[in-house]
Amino acid sequence: MRTAPLPVVAASAARDPRPDRSIDVPTDSHCPYCALQCGMSLSPAGRTSVRVRPRDFPTNGGGLCQKGWTSAALLGSPARLTTPLVRSGGVLRPASWDEALGLVAGRLREIVDERGPDAVALFGGGGLTNEKAYLLGKFARVAVGTSQVDYNGRFCMSSAAAAANRAFGLDRGLPFPVTDLDGADVVLLAGANPAETMPPFLSHLRRAAEAGGLIVVDPRRTPTAERAALHLAPAPGTDLALALGILHAAVADGHLDRDYVRDRTAGFDDAWRLAAAWWPERAERVTGVAAADQRRAAALLAGASGAYVLTGRGVEQHATGVDTAGAWINLALALGLPGRPGSGWGCLTGQGNGQGGREHGQKADQLPGYRRIDDPAARAHVARVWGVHPDALPGPGRSAYELLDALGTPGGPSALLVFGSNPVVSAPHARRVADRLAALDLLVVADIVLSETALAADVVLPVTQWAEEDGTLTNLEGRVLLRRRALPPPAGARTDLEVLHGLAVRLGQPPERFPADPEAVFAELRAASAGGPADYSGVTYDRLRAGEALHWPVPAEDHPGTPRLFLDRFAHPDGLARFAAVDHTGPAEPPDAEFPLHAVTGRVLQHYQSGAQTRRVEELRAAVPEGYVEAHPDTAGRAGLADGALAAVTSRRGKVVVRVRCVDSLPADVVFLPFHFPGDQRANLLTNPALDPVSRMPEFKVCAVRLSPAREARS
């Protein structure tokens, strides 16, 4: 049983003594946080850190948010792990790398021999570089032979990805450069709050905002909604009904682009049969959004010379996320936006490598190049690159939550290796997930700090950070970026690639099959992706070092890349986009007499994902030191609470204890909680693991709760 945690192991000032080519000169790099991947310049600041300065890069135009400005603080933090830790007698103790890797490899061999390869699972992250995501998937399927591999990106953009694949035959978050938005007259943002999640992105919306053409769809009056000319605030879980109402208005008011629908799409009639029943007045009764505002939104989009429909997590993180994203795509198609210069549809990818992370094989149903693992031709191609027989590759495995939920159960995995994720905080029904981790025979976590998941591990492996290693990422617009090493890592930390190499060799793999050099891994990734939907075969480190803007697909070294997709045809065999026949059903767990409030979760400006990094940056922690619940003053008052009081927020799955922030603009039946905080402040103690039937995305964005005074002061 995992009990007493080890006190934080302080990072020594010592750095890896190996020579570094860039420590004495500024290094062009990219921010370690969101998928905007803002350009920054890193200059030496002693031997343990760097000085961050923004640089003029298309996504950020010389700007950074507070997280970007403080991103170097963690490099020399005393919270850094620099020594492997092994649990002994219930307590984590320092160990050598040989001991730690030997222990892990030995236990993996025993578990595979006793129960088969699917008794071992791997869980990756959308912040891992392309090289790490690629090698992690290869390690799972070749070195271990398991089908049980997925990643936290399943919790991020899987619903929009599935909807885009269904509509267009291909998924790339923004199928156009982000700078195309600079010329838009109208932009509709559905379920996105970039003012807090990616502030430099707002510069691309300036023209639309100044022209009165920024439309924001969000139940809350967020900082982004404050900038909008039109804020549509649907009741939580009714986004799909709102999209149907606006589509109905667009068609009924004469805005349908009939030539585009005829020439470039298929399936409109089936989609319209359902949307025809959602006249704006009916949608108003369900969503609370005035019919006049729905018609105004349709008219603004239709009347613009350049218009975009963009979606975010608020659209996707539902048990109907694929259909909801599909409904917004339907609206864009009806107005003739996708594939038209100066207009389009797109999705704002969240995690730093949310795009590349889902393309190269760490997802349960995919192989590198965005190939399907159940496609015989895809299996044959990748097996040839890997030097194995196609029949040796396992088939699809469990999706992220289903994988976590099966841990330690009969027939489920009994060992888990975690890279770049903190599911104790980030997964829905978090107490259940923590219980499943505790039931494992072996939990191994590779991380830079002692995260909440690492605290529960049997073995913790200290790995390098963003500025201490080379690697590529793919940003929200499908542009492949090279993030360069700017200083040596602390002595004792290894790259994730070195960890996977060391384990693979100890499991009997030839050393050359699992290279640890990122450029060598990328060369193999290029070959594995060649001919696939996400074709990186023409991307090279040399081209990236030279500053070329390479948006995939890049099928040859003399190919310029594809910044704008779908200009001539969509990726389906007939070249046509597909409307989706979708209808509104509502959230999986509506409020009732016992749990009368909708709980919505989301991010705040100063923190990122599970907060494992940003909570250790003093400036960010001081700004928002703890979790909280936003509630309307009347809602708080009815529960016997005032601003600043300690409240219990309870769902059918758990209870969160946080302080109340009274917010006049919130609807009376809605509360909001940020999800970055640990312990009894974990918003995901409340959230519902109901899954979308296609994407397997959990319903993070809405669950039923009640609000009451906390019985005891929180420690």
**193, two tokens:** 């709050």
> DSSP secondary structure string, 366-378?
EETTTEETT-HHH
pLDDT in tens, 273-283: 999 999 999 99
Q: Among residues 494, 500, 511, which one has the least CA distance to residue 97?
A: 494
Helices (H) then strands (E): counts for the chain: 25, 29
For 530-568, how does the pLDDT look when each residue is reduced to its tens digit (9 = 90+)?
999 999 999 999 999 999 999 999 999 999 999 999 999
Given a cut of 70, whether residue 715 has pLDDT beyond it is no
pLDDT at 581: 98
| pTM attached to this predicted model | 0.95
Residue with the bigger pLDDT between 3 and 272: it is 272
Average pLDDT over residues 385-406: 98
At residue 655, the pLDDT reads 97
Q: Does position 12 have pLDDT exceeding 80, yes or no?
A: no
| pLDDT greater than 50 at residue 7 | no
First to last CA, the chain: 24
Which value, to the nearest 10 degrees, does the dihedral of the CA atoms of residues 443, 445, 450, 454 take? -20
3-state SS, one letter per residue, for 619-666: HHHHHCCCCEEEECHHHHHHCCCCCCCEEEEECCCCEEEEEEEECCCC
Q: In residues, how long is the chain?
A: 715
* Tokens 């909280």 found at: 628
Query: Are the C-beta atoms of residues 382 and 154 closer than 8 Å to each other?
Result: no
Instruction: State the CATH architecture for 85-155+354-545.
Output: 3-Layer(aba) Sandwich (3.40)
Phi-psi map region of 34: left, alpha, beta (phi>0 left; psi -120 to 50 alpha): beta
Asked if the peptide bond before residue 376 counts as cis, ω within 30 degrees of 0, the response is: no
Give the pLDDT band (50/70/90) at residue 16. Answer: low
Per-residue pLDDT averaged across 369-379, rounded?
97
Task: Say what the pLDDT of residue 496 is.
Answer: 98
Q: Which two tokens stand for residue 658?
A: 């946080």
Mean pLDDT for 402-411 is 97
pLDDT tens-digit map of 471-515: 999 999 999 999 999 999 999 999 999 999 999 999 999 999 999
Q: How confident is the model at residue 14 (pLDDT cuts 50, 70, 90)?
A: low
Mean pLDDT rounded to a whole number for the chain:
95
Establish whether domains 180-347 and 597-709 are of one fold.
no
pLDDT at 127 > cutoff 90: yes
Residue 326 has pLDDT above 90, yes or no: yes
Confidence of residue 423 (pLDDT cuts 50, 70, 90): very high
pLDDT of residue 46: 76
H-type helices in 139-193, by residue range?
A: 158-168
Q: What is the pLDDT of residues 128-137, one digit of tens each?
A: 999 999 999 9
Q: What is the CATH number of domain 180-347?
A: 3.40.228.10
Count of alpha carbons within 13 Å of 611, Cβ hemisphere only?
26
Handedness of CA 675, 476, 689, 325 (dihedral sign): positive
Spatial separation of the C-alpha atoms in residues 191 and 222, rounded to whole Å? 10
Q: Quick one: pLDDT at residue 15? A: 57
- Digit-coded pLDDT (tens) for 205-222: 999 999 999 999 999 999
What percentage of the chain reaches a pLDDT higher than 70? 96
At 656-680, the pLDDT tens digits run 999 999 999 999 999 999 999 999 9
List all residues 6 or more positions away from 692 whose beta carbon is below 8 Å from its beta carbon.
158, 159, 162, 318, 319, 320, 321, 322, 699
Q: d(Cα 511, Cα 39) in Å, to the nearest integer? A: 35
The structural domains of the chain, with segments of one domain joined by +, span 85-155+354-545, 180-347, 597-709
Question: How many CA atoms are closer than 13 Å to the CA of 50, on its beta-carbon side?
Answer: 32
Ordered alpha helix ranges (H), 358-426: 376-386, 400-406, 423-426
Q: Where would I find the beta strands (DSSP E) of 45-119?
A: 50-54, 85-88, 91-94
Residue percentage of the chain with pLDDT more than 90? 94
State the pLDDT at residue 25: 78
Q: Which amino acid is at 614?
A: T
Summarize pLDDT for 259-271 with one digit per residue, the tens.
Answer: 999 999 999 999 9
pLDDT by residue (tens digit) across 222-262? 999 999 999 999 999 999 999 999 999 999 999 999 999 99
Residue 13 reports pLDDT greater than 70: no
Structural fold of domain 597-709: Barwin-like endoglucanases (2.40.40)
Distance in angstroms (rounded) separating the CA atoms of residues 603 and 628: 12
| Amino acid 3: pLDDT | 46
Structural tokens at position 656: 């969160």
Q: What pLDDT is stored for residue 45 in this prediction?
A: 85
Span 51-92, pLDDT tens digits: 999 999 999 999 999 999 999 999 989 999 999 999 999 999
